[in-house]
Chains A and B, each alone.
Chain A
Amino acid sequence: MGVWSTGYFILALLPFLFAFCLPKWHRRALLRWIILGWGIVVTRLGVWPFIRLTVSGEKPVRKPSIYVFNHRSGSDAFLVSAMHRPMIQAVNGWPMRLPVLGFVAKQAGYLDITNLSYEQALAEVREHLEHGVSVIDFPEGHRSASKELLPFQSGAFRMARDLGVDLYPGVITGNEENPTRHFRLKCGRIHFHLLPPISANAAQAFPSAFAFKQHVRNLMAEACAEHEVYP
């Protein structure tokens, strides 16, 4: 994986430097493509043939939307590249403090939601959506490191309702110990499945963001059970 990543970094160095000559939204767009490319290289080539990724379900569309995924391990941030669309992720503070990666993520427009109030985060997400950028959230808030689906935070669901955008739930299975909390990789299989979108109108039909999030959580729990790699 290190060899592939190093090769990719060398290839991406020029576009990376070029990105900083561009206006803000163009720079962000180019950096998101570079991050997406790295995600694809790592998850498709870097770990092959020791870890195999399979993909099923919906294909993401151009229309900017909110995507929510379960969060079993740190590899989720890379595995969402299986959608082959550059997006931003809403993350807790620590990934943004990583050297180089944190800087690139920040420059690409990734959101550090720990430092934002709901209203501030809503304004940021609205701006990204208006620029055609979809947003990925992991509503469990932190890694479960198990097959358990932790309780959800309601922020992403509230935003989908407040902003009137579609929400795509997705599940990633098989990576609960890949990598481990000590960032060790194991041989195995990982599956990525994107569920059908929930339209803005359908989201509005729920009496509250809580009811909406619980509905989506139930859908994701069922999808996890159906697509579990290691039942």
Chain B
Amino acid sequence: MTREEIIRQVNAAFVDQFEIAAGQLTEEKKLFDDLGLDSLDIVDLLVALHKTFGIALRNNEEVRKVRTLGEVYDFLEKYAREHPEEIRSVK
């Protein structure tokens, strides 16, 4: 899965789940400060990513360190590289 594909699908999840305008979704945006998510919303985000990519992230330690949208893409790109058999495009 390419980075572009990951970006497209993560952004689609943000638009569908959180109704955030696609134009706002840039790599430097902070999930809490810029996009307005809180810790409970992050759980919804992980559920949305589970639905999109088929991976369960709730107990993943590394995903807890993610602060920006770019870091979400980086995390998933790395995850796809390390676990190509697990990550898939569900949609």
Contacts and interface: CB of A to CB of B under 8 A. Distances in A.
Given A207-B17, A208-B18, A214 B36 contact: yes
Contacts of B44: 208-210
A209 B41 contact: yes
Contacts of A208: 17-19, 41, 44
B40 A207 contact: no
B5 interface: no
Interface in B33-72: 33, 36-38, 40-41, 44
B72 to A, nearest CB: 15
A33 interface: no
Interface in B1-55: 16-19, 33, 36-38, 40-41, 44
A158 interface: yes
Contacts of B33: 151
A151 B32 CA distance: 9
B12 to A, nearest CB: 12
**Per DSSP, are chain B's interface residues mostly helix, strand or loop, or mixed?**
helix
Contact of A158 (B17, B19, B40): B40
Interface residues of A, number: 14
Given A208-B44, A209-B44, A153 B38 contact: yes
B16 A210 contact: no
A118 interface: yes
B16 A207 contact: yes
A206 B47 CA distance: 16
A137 to B, nearest CB: 13
A36 to B, nearest CB: 30
B19 A207 contact: yes
Nearest to A217: B36
A91 B41 CA distance: 20
Contacts of A206: 19
Contacts of B38: 151, 153-154
Nearest to B14: A210
Contacts of A214: 18-19, 36
A151 B36 CA distance: 6
A187 interface: no
A155 interface: yes
A214 B18 CA distance: 9
A1 interface: no
A220 to B, nearest CB: 14
Nearest to A153: B38
Contacts of A211: 17-19
25 contacts: A118-B40, A151-B33, A151-B38, A153-B38, A153-B40, A154-B41, A155-B40, A158-B40, A207-B16, A207-B17, A207-B18, A207-B19, A208-B19, A208-B41, A209-B40, A209-B41, A209-B44, A210-B17, A210-B18, A210-B36, A210-B41, A210-B44, A211-B17, A214-B18, A214-B19
Interface of A: 118, 151-155, 158, 206-211, 214
The 3 closest A-B pairs by CB, nearest first: A211-B19, A210-B41, A210-B18
